[in-house]
Amino acid sequence: MIRARDDAGSVLVPVRAQAGAARDEVVGEYEGSLKIAVTPPAERGRANGAIRDVLAKALGVRRSAVTLVSGVSSRDKLFRVEGASSVDVSRLV
């Protein structure tokens, strides 16, 4: 189960990143985090931007509604998504 937390009109989503994948997609759950695979490599923030795009599209929000809170250079990240809830995140898996 994804450990997403609702927070004042937004949701905090723990993400496990997989950079350099064959395609951009939500893979599933990994130890309580939403696992997202993206094609760009993990250099100069390119993978973070791609993860942001995948999250926005999957949750049906604008790209600007998705913000990286922590984990800039880590595989384990935390994103804030405005206009979404933990229920929306759980539907992705």
Integer Cα distance of 20 and 3 in angstroms: 25
Give residue 13's pLDDT band: very low, low, confident or very high (50, 70, 90). very high
CB 32 within 8 A of CB 7: no
Q: Look at the domain 5-90 and name its fold.
A: Conserved Hypothetical Protein Mth637; Chain: A; (3.30.1200)
Q: pTM to 2 decimals? A: 0.95
Task: Give the model's pLDDT for residue 18.
Answer: 97
Residue range 62-85: mean pLDDT, rounded? 97
Task: Give the model's pLDDT for residue 24.
Answer: 98
Give residue 21's pLDDT band: very low, low, confident or very high (50, 70, 90). very high
Listed in sequence order, the residues at least 6 apart from 74 whose beta carbon sits closer than 8 Å to its beta carbon are none
Integer Cα distance of 61 and 27 in angstroms: 19
